[in-house]
Amino acid sequence: MEFLKQCDLLRIEDILPFFSDFVTIEHFKEAISNSLKEYNQRILDLKEEMEEATKSAEMVREDIQSFRNKCTYINSSDVCDICNMLILIRPFYIFPCYHKFHSDCLREELEPLLGPGKKNKLAELDRRLITLNRVDNVSVGSTGMSNVELCRMEIDNIVASECLYCGENMIKNIDKPFVDDAEYEKMKKEWE
C-alpha cells in the first residue's frame, strides 16, 4: 500500500492482480475507497463537460436556425457592389453583411482568389452543368433535387460560402498588392 502512495501513476486496480485470492479486503479498504471517490469525481466532471458541450451545440443549432430564417429587403435601386449596376437585372447573391453582388461579377472577382483545388472543382461543376443542361435536366438525385439543381447548389457552396469583401479570402489576401508587378511596370512606362 505504501507503494501506491509513493507512485501516482499506479492505482489499486493495477496491483490487485498480484495479491493472492486469500488476502482480505480490510488491507485495501482505504485505497479502494479513495479510488472509487476519484472515479466518481471524474465521472461527475465528464458529465458536466457533456452538459456544457450539449448546451454549446444547442446554441450553435439555434444560431444556424436563426440564420436560415433571416431575410433582407432589396430596393429596386440597390446596385451590385462590384459593377454598380442595378442588382435586380441579373442573378445575384446577398450576404449577411448586406454586400450584394451579381453572381457573374462575384465569380469573376473570386476565381483568382480561389486555391487550385476549388478552381478545378468549380471548372468541373461548370462543365457538368453545361452537359446536364444540354442532355438531362429532369433526372432527380438521391436528395429529391434535380441533378441541375444539385450542381448549381455545389457551385453556390463554393462561390457564395463567404462575402468577397468581409470573408476569410479577403483577410488572407490583405497583403496582396492591388496591381501585380507586370501591370505595375506597364503602367509605369505609360506614365513616363
Asked whether residue 16 carries a pLDDT value surpassing 70, the answer given is no
How far is 105 from 160, CA to CA, in rounded Å?
A: 12
Q: Which residue did the predictor score with more confidence, 83 or 19?
A: 83
Cell of 190: 505609360
For 99-114, the pLDDT digits (tens) are 999 999 999 999 888 8
Amino acid 173 reads N
Arithmetic mean of pLDDT, 51-64 = 93
pTM of the complete model = 0.55
Cβ atoms of 100 and 166 within 8 Å: the answer is no
Where in the chain are the domains?
Answer: 2-68, 103-191
Question: Which pLDDT does position 34 carry in this prediction?
Answer: 80
Indicate if the pLDDT at residue 17 is higher than 70: no
User: 16 is written with which cell numbers?
Assistant: 490487485
Per the CB < 8 A criterion, the answer to whether 115 and 97 are in contact is: no
Per-residue confidence band for 85, with pLDDT thresholds at 50, 70 and 90: very high
Q: Are 16 and 28 in contact (CB under 8 A)?
A: yes
Separation between Cα atoms, residue 18 and residue 8, nearest integer Å: 18
Mean confidence (pLDDT) of the chain: 84
